[in-house]
Structure 1
């Protein structure tokens, strides 16, 4: 998997971002009224 991310990160990074967003949604619910929407999350890969 690491090899795929190194060669084609733009094709798979969105999967990590969506997974992070789902996890944040699960661990922060229930949220206060007016704060129900989860903001987009940016994943950055570094070497």
Structure 2
């Protein structure tokens, strides 16, 4: 029989759920801007090291 492990958040950990959900929502809303900023940074960085 395989070992079984169950995980659960403590009440303290659960109190972070609204914050984490807000971060997730922000990331999903702004993913295109984040991707564009990452590409801009990578392009700038590759020009300075070339």
Structure with larger Rg = 2
Report the structure, 1 or 2, having the larger helix content: 2
TM-score (norm 2): 0.41
TM-score (norm 1): 0.42
Which has the higher relative contact order, 1 or 2, with Cα contacts under 8 A spaced 6 or more apart?
1
